């Protein structure tokens, strides 16, 4: 006790009153902790509930404030309101009802706002985010996409459409916050350098009927540079800058890998090519690094003819035999079983799709003329009924019609099926 108070007991009440006034004034003036002046703030901490956020709220798994405009973020030292949509904010807030979230900006990949020294932060598309929250949002958003591209003599224009429109597919996956792998095989099982092996060298070889110029001048191999990776990964640093996916670079390299030429065999065996690509032997050698245990698998067939997969004892002296003697081909049930079991029997983790010619139910007897089921400015299409039998055996499926002069809608629809399956 203060000696003067001991000598004058009458001072005790006024001093106590003053202390109470000070406490009340402090409580009334208390404001949310300013991250600029405090290292103790919970700001930008990853969270599961408001309980761990101190004076803030847990919004989209981040300790911050919800917002609809920048003025809601003024107490956060330079943060601005980022509305929920595509990109990293869309990923964070996929399951949240918030319209927007207060987050700071960042430049050149640097993310170090004041008061967050203890946080592990990342700069994604010029927005500063906690790595833990982003990792949590992306969990389960992985897909490995295998494209099976017909490289027979009639596929020049269709391959050009693939190169020109695959950016829509890539952009839709990126906007959906998907961590993706892309790889390409051809329908040719004769060439040992193909036969289910991933491709990364473009081919200029085209048939005389090709109506488009196959321009591969932008491909790295044409400029003395290293070939693109056989497995194109959205997480690969060569395709990212300051946390932003370079969609054009992905499109260029994938387009190079998918330019398979048109000198492949006319006995297209897309189903067997896909099975070989995902077999244990190739997954442990040429095709290593593609298939991830926890990722969704998507297989996309691009072909204007039916599948002609067989076990090696088939008469290939006449191309019509693939239809006339379809009963001698490998049963489609074997491929349904293979693809269905590749994820431990969980069909929900497999998407089967393709851009193929529609099946109108016709089956051709020996000697009958095989007729196309569709046509477009790109050419004719012959029913891909064996592909369709495999595709339709899976819940997540989307066979698109190859007889169109633009594949943009088809690729957008395929991306939508993948996003719905994640």
Token pair for 132: 């833990």
pTM over 0.85: no
Domains and CATH numbers, the chain: 50-138 (no CATH), 142-421 (3.40.50.410)
Determine phi and psi for 35, rounding to 5 degrees. -65, -20
CB crowding 36-54: b at 16 or more within 10 Å, else e: eeeeebbbbbbbeeeeebe
β-pair partners for 149: 186, 302
Structure confidence at residue 107 (pLDDT): 75
CB crowding 256-288: b at 16 or more within 10 Å, else e: bbbbbbbebbebbbbbbbbbbbbeeebeeeebe
Query: 3-state class of 157 per DSSP?
Result: helix
Angle at the Cα of 312 from the Cα atoms of 311 and 315, rounded to 5 degrees: 115
Structure confidence at residue 128 (pLDDT): 87
Structure confidence at residue 8 (pLDDT): 44
Structure confidence at residue 23 (pLDDT): 41
| Strands (E) located in 174-328 | 179-186, 232-233, 240-241, 244-245, 296-302
Instruction: Determine contact, residues 334/387, Cβ cutoff 8 Å.
Output: no
Query: 3-state class of 244 per DSSP?
Result: strand
Structure confidence at residue 115 (pLDDT): 58
Cβ contacts of residue 391 below 8 Å, gap of 6+?
Answer: 301, 352, 353, 354, 397, 398, 399
Structure confidence at residue 226 (pLDDT): 86
Structure confidence at residue 24 (pLDDT): 38
Q: How far apart are CA 83 and CA 90, in angstroms?
A: 8
Closest by CA to 339, choosing from 286, 284, 403, 392, is: 392
What CA dihedral angle connects 162, 362, 339 and 269, to 10 degrees? -60
Local mean pLDDT, 10-residue blocks, the chain (422 residues): 42 44 41 45 86 90 91 86 81 78 81 67 84 77 96 91 91 90 98 96 79 80 85 94 85 93 94 98 97 96 97 93 97 97 93 96 94 94 97 90 93 94 91
Structure confidence at residue 31 (pLDDT): 43
* 3-state DSSP percent of the chain in helix, strand and coil, to 5: 35, 20, 50
- Say which residue the tokens 């072909």 belong to: 303
- Sign of the alpha-carbon torsion through 174, 418, 352, 413: negative
Q: How far apart are CA 410 and CA 401, in angstroms?
A: 8
């Amino acid at each position: 006790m203060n000696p003067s108070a001991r000598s004058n007991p009458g001072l005790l009440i006024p001093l106590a009153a003053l202390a109470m006034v000070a406490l009340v004034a402090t409580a009334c003036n208390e404001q949310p902790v300013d991250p600029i002046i405090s290292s103790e703030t919970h700001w930008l901490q990853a969270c599961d509930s408001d309980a761990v956020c101190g004076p803030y709220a847990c919004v989209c798994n981040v300790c911050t404030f919800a917002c609809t405009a920048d003025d809601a973020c003024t107490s956060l030292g330079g943060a601005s309101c980022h509305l929920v949509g595509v990109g990293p904010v869309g990923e964070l807030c996929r399951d949240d009802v918030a319209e927007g979230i207060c987050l700071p900006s960042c430049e050149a990949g640097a993310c170090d706002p004041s008061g967050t020294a203890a946080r592990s932060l990342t700069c994604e598309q010029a927005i500063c985010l906690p790595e833990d929250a982003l990792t949590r949002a992306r969990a389960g958003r992985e897909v490995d996409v295998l494209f099976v591209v017909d490289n027979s003599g009639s596929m020049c224009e269709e391959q050009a459409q693939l190169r020109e429109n695959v950016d829509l597919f890539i952009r839709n996956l990126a906007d959906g916050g998907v961590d993706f792998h892309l790889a390409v095989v051809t329908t040719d099982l004769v060439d040992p350098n193909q036969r289910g092996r991933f491709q990364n060298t473009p081919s200029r070889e085209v048939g005389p009927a090709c109506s488009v110029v196959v321009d591969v001048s932008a491909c790295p191999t044409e400029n003395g540079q290293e070939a693109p990776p056989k497995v194109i990964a959205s997480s690969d640093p060569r395709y990212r800058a300051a946390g932003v996916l370079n969609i054009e670079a992905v499109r260029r390299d994938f387009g190079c890998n998918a330019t398979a030429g048109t000198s492949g065999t006319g006995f297209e065996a897309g189903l067997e090519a896909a099975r070989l690509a995902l077999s244990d032997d190739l997954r442990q050698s040429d095709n290593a690094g593609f298939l991830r245990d926890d990722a969704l698998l998507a297989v996309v067939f691009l072909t204007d003819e039916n599948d002609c997969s067989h076990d090696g004892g088939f008469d290939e002296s006449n191309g019509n035999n693939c239809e006339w003697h379809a009963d001698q081909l490998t049963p489609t049930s074997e491929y349904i079983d293979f693809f269905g079991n590749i994820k431990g029997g969980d069909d929900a983790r497999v998407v089967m799709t393709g851009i193929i010619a529609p099946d109108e139910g016709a089956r051709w007897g020996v000697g009958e003329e095989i007729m196309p089921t569709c046509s477009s400015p790109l050419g004719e299409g012959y029913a891909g009924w064996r592909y369709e039998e495999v595709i339709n055996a899976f819940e997540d499926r989307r066979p698109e019609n190859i007889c169109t002069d633009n594949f943009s809608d088809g690729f957008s629809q395929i991306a939508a099926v993948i996003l719905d399956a994640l």
